[in-house]
Structure 1
Amino acid sequence: MPKFHADQQARTRLDQARRLLAIAQTGLHYTTGAFDRERYEEIAAIAYSQIAELASMDTGKVAELFSFESGYANPKLDVRCAIFDEVGRILLVREAADGLWSIPGGWADVGLSPAANAAKEAREESGYTVHIERLLAVWDMNKHAHPPSAFHIWKLVFLGTTESAGAIVGSETDKVGFFSLQDLPSLSLGRILPEQIRRLAELYRAGGVDFD
């Protein structure tokens, strides 16, 4: 079987496993019967095993990740900020976890709007205080060539302009810089893809919003 087809098949199976887990999670939230709870827990255990296999993770680690998830199952929200300088270079931060580069961002925090989350992440990870100009993209990571993830993730990317520079806050990133689109460093592909950066640059220049 060609690798492309094998990859597509694995992505389909991973999506099915996440859907199965979402059904189990939602069922556990609403059920009041002991018998139903037992069956939903069994479905969740099957889904953990499938996700672990397809995402190359340990089953126990998958179960640990989802132990914090309760209630009606929803996609997780990753909010990021694209910042360009006057010559069109994009600001990237180096992730301390893997030594690879991404645009600043992370999980959305409760109590902040999406735009406020993007500005906060930019300041913490790059040191730059930014003004959020507009929304650039809303992407479903399932529809892009990211490495397999245990979670179903939606990515919101906002355009930001720098207002002032400062020091990196926290320990998630350890370096920051502006890079030309023709000379990008090694990217953290679970966070951002080269083709997504190129698309963001197009949207920055031409306007509009890209969405899945």
Structure 2
Amino acid sequence: MATPGFIRELRAGIGHQLLFLPGISAVVRDDGGRVLLVRRADNGRWSVIGGIPEPGEQPAQTAVREVMEETAVICVPERILAVETLQPVRYPNGDNCQYLDIALACRAVGGTARVNDDESLEVGWFALGALPPLERFALDRIELATRREPARFVPAGTQSR
């Protein structure tokens, strides 16, 4: 994911110190139940779509914007899947971040899936039984999107992933 300008400005003042940031992940499905995935340019791995909200932006707005920016697909957020603090991440440039991820189930309502920015190498729709190799993060969120149950909140005292 590209680093938003407001975070680059923060980094200019604090260097590589740990930043605790909101993150939004979107599990987008079509009417046939397929899942929209992107193969990320930064690590070459397939994943659900995600990003960081701009200041003042609502999580649902972030999901819609990120999905459009990365894939040219128009989506409608339908429900919260999970709210979870993830393990800290150290990026190759030395920046340290920890994300509070809000995962949303979204339904595709328009557009044609394609690479729409420089953050993705490929974009595609995948049947649940034919997913490419995915990290546990993406698999967990896709599994939650296939169930009709309340949002998952990680209990107090539980380690994040």
TM-score by length of 2: 0.71
Which of 136, 144, 157 is the aligned partner of 1:199?
144
**SS of residue paired to 1:86:** coil
Mapped partners of 2:14, 2:55: distance in 1: 15
Higher relative contact order (Cα pairs below 8 Å, separated by 6+ residues) = 2
1:95-110 equivalence runs, <5 A = 95-110=40-55
Q: From the two aligned structures, give the one with the greater strand fraction.
A: 2
Which of 118, 130, 138 is the aligned partner of 2:83?
138
1:125-204 equivalence runs, <5 A = 125-142=70-87, 149=90, 150-166=96-112, 167-187=114-134, 189=135, 192-202=137-147
1:135 partner amino acid: I
Deviations 1:42-96 (A, max 9, x none): xxxxxxxxxxxxxxxxxxxxxxx955549xx862111121111233221111111
RMSD: 2.6
Q: From the two aligned structures, give the one with the greater helix fraction.
A: 1
Mapped partners of 2:127, 2:73: distance in 1: 18
Q: Is the 8 A contact 1:181 1:198 kept in 2?
A: no
Structure 2 runs not aligned, ≥5 long: 1-9, 91-95, 155-161
> Measured at CA, do residues 68 and 102 of structure 1 come closer, stay the same or move farther in structure 2, by a change above 3 Å?
farther
1:52-71 equivalence runs, <5 A = 67-69=12-14
> Measured at CA, do residues 138 and 182 of structure 1 come closer, stay the same or move farther in structure 2, by a change above 3 Å?
same
2:70 partner amino acid: E
Asked if 1:209 is matched to 2:135, the reply is no
Mapped partners of 1:133, 1:196: distance in 2: 14
Structure 1 segments, 4+ long, off by >4 Å, are 65-70
1:184 partner amino acid: L
Higher alpha-carbon Rg: 1
Mapped partners of 1:116, 1:168: distance in 2: 20
Mapped partners of 1:170, 1:158: distance in 2: 21
- Matched residue count: 137
Larger deviation: 123-132 or 147-156?
Answer: 147-156
Provide the identity percentage: 27
